[in-house]
Structure 1
């Protein structure tokens, strides 16, 4: 496992969604002891670090991204002692630990917001958030901004003022022009750094600072949809002021040994604009969402790869690659739609269904392509099992606020958050000791269970395991891309990576020795359609 101070430059980081990873007590909700008990799986798989989605005290209106206390652990997940044990055990296994930090907004149940409501207009407590008087007679919102979950981005309080919530009504936006807010988060950083965490994934990193005059903006914001770089600059996203905040955070992290890192969740385009978040005195990584969004087409993928590498190399930063996370349809399902189908924000039983077999075939090829690229890669829990989206979940089980706030027009993200299958014949497929599962698991989950895949040649788990070992052995994360003539192929060090997007099989160079293939080659040793091969020549 990686120990050097710049370990993140080629790390493979595994995202754990605590609700859905492992349940230690049978209540149907994943928890920190459950995660700790399954850490050896991550060590065996071959990843370098684990990123934990929020586990803080929260009313869970947005699955923990509505934080009520940044220095605690929600009782659903355990206590601070359980967090300490998890960090200690991860480090014992050689795994780094990254935790989620949510600085754009708090929960409406946070002590600060409750104090703001009680204190009234003009109070110092309200200055921690973005309160404004309404328009007209005060009965209209201060401006035209919309929540990314649907509906207005303003909620009126009983005393007549309005507060901004770019997300759910239970997630009031903080006022980052307030020095007290800035000092509080520096303190929060130190609290978790002192407990041994190795870094922070920063939620909505491009959203903290708003244009001072809160100018009207009528363009549509979509949840995790990015922004049109040719459109008007939005007054709530990617403002210049965010950079001085992250510079101050970087100074705090640099006080600590061991290479502590900041990772930006920033839906910013173009790549050169996103790269500003990872300049030498700011963050260490930024999620590469253009890569996630790229269609299964060779020209488009090559362009995203080239643009990403060029932009990050220009500021001396590593490039990250990602295909799935807790906010998007799993790529094993996304790639099962016809090429060019726009990414949808969730799939229900009555929606067009992906081709499951095709989706998994392309997902395996896409993963092998991604892991062949230089830089750092992020994996989402369960993708090593080939898990698809739960596309037939009954709507009554949906908890994502986007489902309700969109008037039941957007299915939301619950389909990618279903608890994992560990054992095919166990209650809740081994997720916990009982049948309980906070979201229903499909009947097909048994075929994806870990115990049905480990040691089985050709399984998706074995593909990931082999790829991660070879990636480390050949130093692919520290390499470079040299494009080759002909089909989609590049060299990274001594490894040739070939992906066949076409209808006809592709020949490998004479004398090529195959290291790994996402599916078997054909009888003539050629690369079939929707297959990626690693080879040395």
Structure 2
């Protein structure tokens, strides 16, 4: 049982069947987006949207995850009905551009993998069309292009019958020149074409072929039910639904709507599309038909009893026609089930949530809260979706005054009644940003319709950049989920739970993902029991909250703006703390670059910009300047192995842009004898499952050694190598002092042999074929070119230093790899490599029960292999491993800090370890680490890195002083009121004071320049000696015993000073450290240490203390 507002839950796990989606035609799994061109983007400052404006916004459409977009009419027109009155079916209206502009739009769209659908308006033309003018004059061949009738017998000017137009008044208009009435089922300037004339049928088929030749991928066919009328033109019966004889509802339209010939006409148009595909060897061309008809009629547009095919998508308007703010969960289920039940076998459902003729979702359904609910329902239902522009950001209808009204349907009414017929409120300009005119047109221009008053808060820019969630972010995440096996191929089940919760379950046999969508249709919170879903659900599920939850980041240091996420300004606030209170020399920031946050910043969509949650480039430059002023080095994370799949590079690579096509590792895969396509090799991702993912647009697999959303970059491509070097230079110019290079061993993979990538051998260490340990990674890790790449990056930073006469620039390399490979990263006889290839020996090989001898061997193993001219480094903890106190025990936290800070070289401390912060228990429900979410509720703790990434504990205030918000991206530790920086600074002795004493000691000459000797006493005591002649001797004693020990230093080292001062010691000792005048003085043979404790002593060799 659990409370709910709007929640999406998903069982996460690898599916090896993603390539199955490739066997569906492109349109069967597509998301379509409707653009109303007048209101989308104005490029020339006339207040009207146009084709070039749409072209400029194509990257936005691509970012949404849609497959195709449909344009409302763009043809020449007097604009009596804003383009639905067409005066030339084979050209472009000048307000929108030219044919060349359209061709460029199509070309750019195809480069991005987007398909273009045009509005086809076959029922009527404009009365200013050349055809109509010739028909009026009865020119040969055009006499019967339109529906002409004489006046009613016995009258001079009475219409032929009682038919009423959709827009009020008679459907007949007298033409003086011809001396007859013509039929217009819409506006009088929209005369109906005569489909009983074969010449008209062929002319309109020719229109289809013309636009197919221009590269369009299909048509949305307007007003289909009105194509044919009953011959003889009898009066229609009165409906009894209205007393107004001029209202459309006054009659039952049995002779003017849904005639049998209409369906055959649709089939003929489908024949044109299919024949074009065959003749030109193209992909499928689609028909989408608009018919506000009964389900029984709409069903006939799919196909007939002889399996003759019609429209692939007879629009399903059930969500618009039958649901509103009064609807219940039961209503939702009935409406959805009624449509699914009539879909013929072999055909695909479609779902239309809004369009240019109906009220927007937020206004129709009762408010903002329903925007995400309706998106979740529509985008997780089986089949095709159609989204009207602006619904993805929750735009509202705009109140348009009578004076500003443009819609002809409303203008034919009165100031008192126009709002009943107007469509203007749903057609207002798209809201791009918070600048004047919402970014739709120039600030000085009056848009063709007024803007919404809320455009400064409801717009794309705000919703993209917000640190929290937004309608746009929800829409994008749902669109991304639509590509999963369960949502493309899976079964559908729905149920009403509790009083008003509508539940959807999508699953596919043998797929490990089952999606449960729960939407509470009522405004009251409700507790429901999901176990009543008749055994449909798996035993365990991962909560993935969409719609109401916050977005997350990996920065846990300090939040400056109260959004619950650490940021650059927060770090800058603590520069003084880092430099002067802790005394550190450099700080390394985990990724701060633009990212969808699939792996909390390690999936980068723009290597040259800052993620909005963390700040701006200016914030980074200010931080770098502040660090420089305080003498603190700023190190950035450099993540070269992969990018995000949402970045520009990958998008262009998918579409085989010549510049970017080979930026990633692509392969068509293997084709089995039964025709099934499978991944190119058996390689396994670090995050479980195949390291290959099928891309439907490119029709190839791409390599991802981490998440599916982290495609590997191709370092065998010289242009990519140069691109990443340019990234290094970019940030160096912003003032950073170096880089920590992430995931170095994965940079290169073995090349294919005869076009085939080699499989990796079984390791025999696990029986789980999705576990990365299942294989020996001889073809995907630590290949020889990897080391040369590191040498090339070193050359870049050295050249930058020389060219700019800058301070030293450092490269730190992360590589969990055998020591012999770590040493190679330093460089070779000809080239310099990383200054600091991270030494993970301590991190990887020490545990709670580690003995003194084992730790001694760990230290020796590194010191014995590190080249004499290289600087050692010691990494005790990081963001990927358990905290020191949790991994090694709180009792030994000070011991290990002392050990690493007196050893020669560089010490790397992870934030919070100076306080002895502990891992925080994160429930399966609250887990957000992808490595864990790809696991299961039983094993997730083995993979989760969330416990070590919780917010830094500054004080005992709200959220430990990390943020002013009570809702932080990960929970704060429950012990923060007692374990925090402020409390430890107020205490006489504390972990942080020990750490600060060690940092001060490291700045002295003895530790910077002195020799080192290390001795093991028995199995559990280590003594480290650092000595500099005529300066001092520093001794560190580490007691790994579980009992107190007395150490006689004279039996360990000769020539020591008689007395030592206590610099610092573990908390469990009784020695006093702190002010120099209060240090304890101990005899060299009287050092007593409690269990698991350590002490640092200093003796002055110059004066014999």
TM-score class normalised by the smaller sequence: 0.7 to 0.9
Maintained 8 Å contact 1:203/1:264: yes
Distance 1:252 1:449, change over 3 A: same
Distance 1:3 1:94, change over 3 A: farther
Which whole-Å CA distance do the structure 2 matches of 1:216 and 1:317 have between them? 37
Aligned to 1:137: 155
- Could you tell me which runs of 5 or more consecutive residues in structure 1 were left unpaired when the two chains were aligned: 337-358, 527-535
User: What does the per-residue CA deviation read over 1:289-308, in whole Å, with 9 as the maximum and x for residues that have no partner?
Assistant: 12212223222221121121
Aligned to 1:196: 215
Q: Secondary structure at the match of 1:420?
A: coil
Shift of 1:515: 2.6
> Does 1:290 pair with 2:318?
yes
**For the pair shown, which has the larger CA radius of gyration, 1 or 2?**
2
Match of 1:506 among 522, 527, 533: 527
Maintained 8 Å contact 1:278/1:315: no
User: What does the per-residue CA deviation read over 1:366-407, in whole Å, with 9 as the maximum and x for residues that have no partner?
Assistant: 1111111001000000111110000x2221111111112233
Moved more, 434-443 or 318-327: 434-443
Shift of 1:444: 1.5
Which whole-Å CA distance do the structure 2 matches of 1:125 and 1:4 have between them? 46
Q: Secondary structure at the match of 1:44?
A: helix
Aligned to 1:354: none
Report the TM-score when normalising by structure 1: 0.87
> Does 1:244 pair with 2:264?
yes
Shift of 1:365: 0.7
Aligned to 1:489: 503
Shift of 1:320: 1.0
> Does 1:421 pair with 2:431?
yes
Moved over 6 A (4+): 1-5, 225-228
Maintained 8 Å contact 1:373/1:477: no
Aligned to 1:258: 283
After TM superposition, list the pairs within 5 Å mapping 1:289-438 onto structure 2: 289-295=317-323, 296-312=327-343, 314-336=344-366, 359-390=367-398, 392-408=399-415, 409-411=417-419, 412-425=422-435, 427-434=436-443, 435-438=445-448
Which whole-Å CA distance do the structure 1 matches of 2:72 and 2:222 have between them? 10
After TM superposition, list the pairs within 5 Å mapping 1:173-188 onto structure 2: 173-188=192-207
Maintained 8 Å contact 2:434/2:461: yes
Q: CA RMSD in A?
A: 2.7
Aligned to 2:473: 462
Maintained 8 Å contact 1:5/1:259: no
Which whole-Å CA distance do the structure 2 matches of 1:210 and 1:459 have between them? 48
Which whole-Å CA distance do the structure 1 matches of 2:146 and 2:72 have between them? 24
Equivalences, count: 494
Distance 1:520 1:423, change over 3 A: closer
> Does 1:74 pair with 2:93?
yes
Q: Secondary structure at the match of 2:465?
A: coil
> Does 1:33 pair with 2:52?
yes
Aligned to 1:480: 491
User: What does the per-residue CA deviation read over 1:478-531, in whole Å, with 9 as the maximum and x for residues that have no partner?
Assistant: 33321246342121111011111243423364754223433359xxx99xxxxx
After TM superposition, list the pairs within 5 Å mapping 1:271-282 onto structure 2: 271-279=295-303, 281-282=309-310
Maintained 8 Å contact 1:226/1:268: no
Moved more, 410-419 or 434-443: 434-443
Maintained 8 Å contact 1:199/1:262: yes
Distance 1:166 1:371, change over 3 A: same
Maintained 8 Å contact 2:167/2:248: no
Which whole-Å CA distance do the structure 2 matches of 1:154 and 1:478 have between them? 49
Which whole-Å CA distance do the structure 2 matches of 1:5 and 1:374 have between them? 13
Maintained 8 Å contact 2:330/2:496: no
Q: Secondary structure at the match of 2:267?
A: helix
Shift of 1:128: 0.7
After TM superposition, list the pairs within 5 Å mapping 1:204-219 onto structure 2: 204-217=223-236, 218-219=238-239
Which whole-Å CA distance do the structure 1 matches of 2:229 and 2:409 have between them? 23
Moved more, 204-213 or 399-408: 399-408
Which whole-Å CA distance do the structure 1 matches of 2:414 and 2:141 have between them? 36
User: What does the per-residue CA deviation read over 1:267-316, in whole Å, with 9 as the maximum and x for residues that have no partner?
Assistant: 110x232111012511100111122122232222211211211211x243
> Does 1:63 pair with 2:82?
yes
Maintained 8 Å contact 1:209/1:237: yes
Distance 1:76 1:232, change over 3 A: closer
Distance 1:376 1:213, change over 3 A: same
Maintained 8 Å contact 2:333/2:494: no
Maintained 8 Å contact 1:275/1:315: no
Q: Secondary structure at the match of 2:137?
A: helix
Aligned to 1:448: 458
Which whole-Å CA distance do the structure 1 matches of 2:81 and 2:227 have between them? 18
Which whole-Å CA distance do the structure 1 matches of 2:118 and 2:212 have between them? 10
Match of 1:90 among 104, 109, 132: 109
- Could you tell me which runs of 5 or more consecutive residues in structure 2 were left unpaired when the two chains were aligned: 1-18, 508-513, 532-539, 551-923, 926-935, 938-1105
Aligned to 1:171: 190
Which whole-Å CA distance do the structure 2 matches of 1:127 and 1:369 have between them? 47
Aligned to 1:347: none
Distance 1:504 1:429, change over 3 A: closer
Aligned to 1:267: 292
User: What does the per-residue CA deviation read over 1:207-253, in whole Å, with 9 as the maximum and x for residues that have no partner?
Assistant: 1111112221244799xx9999xx95621111110122122211111
Which whole-Å CA distance do the structure 2 matches of 1:496 and 1:474 have between them? 14
